[in-house]
Amino acid sequence: MFKDTTYIPKIENINKQQLIDTIIRVFVVIGLLYLFLVGVKVLGGSFKLMGGGFAKGLLNATANPILGLFSGMFATVLIQSSSVTTSIIVGLVASGTLPMGGAIPMVMGANLGTSVTNSLVSLGYLKNQRQFKDAFAAATIHDFFNILTVAVMLPLELATGFLAKTATYFAGVLYGTSEAVKFSSPVKAAIKPVANGTKVLITDIMGLSGTVAGVVMMLTAATMIIMALSLIVKTMKKVVESNKGEIIENLLAKNGYVAIFFGAILTISVQSSSITTSLLVPMAGAGLLTTSSILPVTIGANIGTTATALLASLTGNVAGLAIALVHFFFNVAGMVIWFVHPTLRKVPVKLCNLLAEKTMKNRSYGIAYIFIVFFGLPFILTLIL
């Protein structure tokens, strides 16, 4: 009896502390989300200050869809966050600096670039041959799913404009197609004073103007966006890492479509698909998960990561919402193509297992694959095209 009476208060104290920590994290994340949205708004205003020359140069740079694809991919590899890349793209489109046609390949490229994190994590298993094979296969299934989706959707989009038309239609419906029913975002109203204050600080108080003011605003906005998302990821990562056992149990116990939902919710919570998919790599290396069970979680992570761009679109206009919806529809289309049909579902699984087997025999294959696909090819094509 004595042990019971002393043990219960300890549990209560632990629960109270966990509750307090959770509440603090919630308020911290809300504050960081506000900073993120202010950054997106300031970013849109910065391009307007740079004038027509900057906009013209950007339009010329994105006129080639292959260049746009690899530019988005290379930017994401360097920043290590597709959320940052797509949020910047949303800001560019909302400000009228970047057209929808040039932005869509960049969004697809951002999807490709984010999967490099998993591959780098898997290199930590190089010394253990068996674990490396499973870990590398788990890492590259994200790559192959995105590569296969781009291989289908980019030509389809260039030929038909399917994503642009669908996203523009739904953006019009959601945002409001007439002044009478036009959506008035309370989020937009809340961030406007701070965003305008940032502009006043740079243009009036600091006395900057034209391109110089635009560059300073752009750098300020980029700092806000990257800092906010990075801190959100760090804040939520602790919660995820402390519940790895529950994550494993949920992944193993549920069917594929529940796993997709699970991956999406987890990614929305931590604001990073890289965290979700990178957690799967050590699980696969330990033999807890197979590539077949990892695929649906990866698809869910891809869908979940579009929430950041959709959030960023709240600060802009119907064009910004449309490109955010393009990101969402692109990933949903990938799920429909490469997961719904059982036969097609096996394609990315077989490809990642094949590469993993070759890499297990000669590890230079894996290192060469990561370097060429994520660094060499995008950098060379970006310079040439």
Angle at 17 between CA 12 and CA 22, to 5 degrees: 125
Residue 160's pLDDT band (cuts 50, 70, 90): very high
Which of 14-18, 182-186, 277-281 is predicted with the least confidence, judged by mean pLDDT? 182-186
Tokens (6 digits) for 234 = 């760090």
| Rounded CA separation 329/162 (Å) | 10
C-beta of residue 46 within 8 angstroms of C-beta of residue 214 = yes
Q: What is the average per-residue pLDDT within 96-124?
A: 83
Residue 350: predicted pLDDT = 94
Q: What does the pLDDT read at residue 2?
A: 46
Question: How far apart (Å, rounded) are the C-alpha atoms in residues 90 and 103?
Answer: 8
Enumerate the domain spans of the chain. 2-384
Q: What is the mean pLDDT of residues 19-32?
A: 79
Q: Which residues contact 91 (CB under 8 A, 6 or more apart)?
A: 40, 41, 43, 44, 47, 221, 312, 315, 316, 320
Q: Of 170, 195, 164, give the one whose Cα is nearest residue 183.
A: 170
Strand boundaries in the chain, DSSP class E: none
Residue 159 CB-density burial (10 A; 0-12 exposed, 13-18 middle, 19+ buried) = exposed
Average pLDDT value for residue range 104-124: 82
d(CA 38, CA 189) in angstroms, rounded, equals 11
Question: Does the pLDDT at position 94 exceed 80?
Answer: yes
Q: What is the pLDDT of residue 188?
A: 67
pLDDT at 187: 63
The region that residue 337 occupies, defined by phi over 0 for left and psi between -120 and 50 for alpha, beta otherwise, is alpha
**Average pLDDT of 119-146?**
80
The pLDDT assigned to 241 comes to 57
**pTM metric for this prediction:** 0.74
Question: Which pLDDT belongs to residue 157?
Answer: 95
pLDDT over 80 (residue 5)? no
Please enumerate in sequence order all residues whose Cβ is within 8 A of that of 99, keeping only pairs 6 or more positions apart, or say none: 59, 62, 93
**302 Cβ neighbours under 8 A, 6+ residues apart:** 111, 142, 145, 146, 273, 331, 334, 335
> Per the structure block, which two tokens stand in for 69?
């694809």
How far is it, in rounded angstroms, from Cα 60 to Cα 92?
A: 14
